C-alpha cells in the first residue's frame, strides 16, 4: 500500500467517526428533551352536592336548672330523703321539717273556727227573733240594730278564724319540701338537724334530667345551623351520643366571633353538666367542588393542587380543604371544569410541562400460550 492510499483510507475512517459521534449527540439531545415531560394522570374539578357537617364545641349544661328552696322558715330539718344523683318525680318529698308546733297551732285554730261558727249560729237566731219582735212592736229599733251588729261581728270573726286556719294548713304543708318538677338532683346543701330559714336553697336539680350542649359555632358557618338538625356529640370522658339542635341564639360574641347553638342531648347520654364535648352538626347537602384526595400536595406547609394549563404546563394553586367523602375531598379556591394532576403531582414544580396519560381500563389477563410452544 502506498503512502497516498494509506492517507486516503485514514481520512475516510476519520470522517465516518466524526459523523457517527455527531449523530449520537443529536439523539441524546432529543431523548433529554422528551424526558423533561413527566407522564401524569389528571382529573376534572367536579361540582357535587356533598353532605356537610359543621364542627362545634362547648360545655354541657342543664336544659333548665331548678333551685329548690324553703317557703317557710325557722323549722328544723328532721329528715332528708334524697341525695345528689337521685332522680325524683314531681311532688316527691325531699325534706321533712319539724311540724309539731304547726300541728298544735292547727288544732287550736280548728277549735277557734268551731267556736266562731257557734257564735254565728247564736247571733243569727238572735237577729231573727229581734226582727220578729220588731214587727210586732215589742222591740225598739236600737235593739234590732244591736242584734244585726252582733250577727255581722260573728260572721267576721268566723272569716278571720278560717283564714288563720288556712294559713297554718299552708305552713304545715310547706314543712314537707317537695320536688317542684321531675328531674335529677345535682346538688344538695341541707343536712338533718339544720334550722332552715325561709328562702334558703336546699337543692338544685335538672328539670326532667335533660342536658344540652352549649356549642360554639364560628360566625361564618352559623347561618347553616338551624333548629331540628341532628348532631353527633363526642367527649373524651363519655361514650358518643346523639343530639338535636334546639335553638340557635341570635347573638355573636364580638370578641370571639362565635355564635351559640344549644343541642339537646339524648336521654341516655353519659355526659354530665360542666363536661367539655364536641359536636358534628349535619347541616344537609351543600354544593361543593371536589378533587381526588391524591391530587392534594403540600408546598411550604400549605395544601394545593397542580392545575394543568395551556401547553400542558402546570401551576400550583393553593386550596382550602373541607369534608372528605370516599376518595374525594371538598376544596375551595378552584373552578369547576379545571384539570388537576393526580398521580405524579408530588414530583412537579411550578411551570413544568406534563404529558397526560389517557384513562385506561385494567389490563386483561394474558392468554395462555399454545401447547408445546416455548415462551420467549
> Is the same domain home to 246 and 225?
yes
User: In terms of domains, do 212 and 277 share one?
Assistant: yes
243 with 138, same domain: the answer is: no
Residue 75 included in any domain: yes
Backbone CA torsion sign across 49, 51, 54, 55: negative
**Bridge partner residues of 330 (DSSP):** 290
What's 179's domain CATH number? 2.40.50.100
Q: Is 15 a member of any domain? A: no
Q: Are residues 218 and 326 in the same domain?
A: no
The pLDDT value given to residue 359: 60
Q: Please, which residues bridge with residue 325 across strands?
A: 328
Residue 169, Cβ neighbours under 10 Å: how many?
15
What's residue 220's pLDDT? 87
Q: Is 28 inside a domain boundary?
A: no
144 and 83 in a common domain: no
| Residues of the chain below pLDDT 70 | 1-36, 359-376
Is 211 in the same domain as 282? Answer: yes
Check whether residue 224 and residue 270 sit in a common domain: yes
Domain shared by 88 and 147, yes or no: no
E strand or H helix that includes residue 20? helix 3-35
Give me the number of domains the chain comprises: 4
Residue 198 lies in a domain: yes
SS3 content of the chain, % helix, strand, coil (to 5): 30, 40, 30
Q: Which of 173, 189, 219 is the last residue of a domain?
A: 173
Cell digits for 170? Answer: 299552708
Alpha-carbon radius of gyration of the chain: 47
**Are residues 182 and 92 part of one domain?**
yes
SS3 221: coil
**Tell me, what CATH number does 114's domain have?**
1.10.287
CA distance 265 to 232: 9
- The answer as to whether 306 is a domain residue is yes
152, three cell numbers: 255581722
- Measured distance CA(171)–CA(109) in Å, rounded: 13
CATH number of the domain where residue 336 is located: 2.40.420.20
Flag whether 4 is in a domain.
no
End position of a domain, from candidates 206, 227, 251: 206
Q: What does the CA dihedral 358, 361, 363, 367 come to, rounded to 10 degrees? A: -120
- Any idea which residue has 411550578 for its cell? 350
What does the pLDDT read at residue 228? 93
DSSP H or E run through 240: strand 238-252
Q: Which three cell numbers stand for residue 318?
A: 393553593
Whether 376 maps to a domain, the answer reads: no
Q: Is residue 310 part of a domain?
A: yes
pLDDT at position 144 is 85
| 344, 224: one domain | no
Same domain flag for 200 and 323 = no
pTM above 0.85, yes or no: no
- Residue 36: predicted pLDDT: 62
pLDDT given at position 16: 44
Q: Determine the structural domain holding residue 346 and report its residue range.
A: 38-49+288-356
- 74 lies in the same domain as 112: no
Amino acid at each position: 500500500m502506498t503512502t497516498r492510499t494509506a492517507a486516503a483510507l485514514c481520512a475516510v475512517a476519520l470522517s465516518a467517526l466524526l459523523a457517527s459521534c455527531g449523530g449520537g449527540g443529536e439523539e441524546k439531545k432529543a431523548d433529554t428533551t422528551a424526558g423533561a415531560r413527566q407522564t401524569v394522570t389528571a382529573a376534572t374539578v367536579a361540582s357535587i352536592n356533598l353532605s356537610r357537617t359543621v364542627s362545634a364545641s362547648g360545655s354541657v349544661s342543664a336544659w333548665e336548672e331548678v333551685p329548690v328552696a324553703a317557703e317557710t322558715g325557722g323549722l328544723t330539718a328532721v329528715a332528708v330523703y334524697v341525695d345528689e344523683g337521685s332522680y325524683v318525680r314531681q311532688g316527691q318529698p325531699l325534706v321533712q321539717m319539724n311540724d309539731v308546733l304547726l300541728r298544735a297551732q292547727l288544732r287550736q285554730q280548728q277549735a277557734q273556727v268551731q267556736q266562731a261558727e257557734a257564735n254565728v249560729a247564736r247571733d243569727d237566731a238572735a237577729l231573727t227573733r229581734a226582727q220578729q219582735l220588731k214587727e210586732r212592736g215589742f222591740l225598739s229599733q236600737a235593739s234590732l240594730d244591736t242584734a244585726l251588729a252582733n250577727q255581722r261581728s260573728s260572721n267576721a270573726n268566723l272569716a278571720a278564724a278560717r283564714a288563720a286556719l288556712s294559713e297554718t294548713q299552708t305552713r304545715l304543708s310547706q314543712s314537707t319540701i317537695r320536688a317542684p318538677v321531675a328531674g335529677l338532683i345535682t346538688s344538695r346543701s341541707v343536712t338533718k338537724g339544720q334550722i332552715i330559714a325561709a328562702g334558703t336553697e336546699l337543692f338544685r336539680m335538672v328539670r326532667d334530667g335533660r342536658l344540652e350542649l352549649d356549642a360554639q359555632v364560628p360566625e361564618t358557618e352559623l347561618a347553616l345551623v338551624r333548629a331540628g338538625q341532628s348532631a353527633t356529640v363526642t367527649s373524651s370522658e363519655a361514650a358518643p351520643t346523639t343530639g338535636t339542635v334546639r335553638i340557635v341564639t341570635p347573638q355573636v360574641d364580638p370578641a370571639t366571633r362565635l355564635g351559640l347553638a344549644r343541642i339537646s342531648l339524648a336521654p341516655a347520654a353519659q355526659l354530665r353538666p360542666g363536661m367539655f364535648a364536641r359536636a358534628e352538626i349535619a347541616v344537609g347537602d351543600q354544593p361543593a367542588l371536589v378533587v381526588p384526595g391524591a391530587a392534594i400536595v403540600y408546598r411550604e406547609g400549605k395544601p394545593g393542587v397542580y392545575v394543568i394549563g395551556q401547553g400542558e404546563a402546570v401551576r400550583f394553586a393553593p386550596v382550602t380543604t373541607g369534608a372528605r367523602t370516599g376518595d374525594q375531598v371538598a376544596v375551595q379556591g378552584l373552578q369547576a371544569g379545571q384539570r388537576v394532576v393526580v398521580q405524579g403531582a408530588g414530583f412537579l414544580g411550578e411551570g413544568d410541562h406534563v404529558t397526560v396519560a389517557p384513562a385506561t381500563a385494567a389490563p386483561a389477563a394474558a392468554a395462555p400460550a399454545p401447547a408445546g410452544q416455548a415462551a420467549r
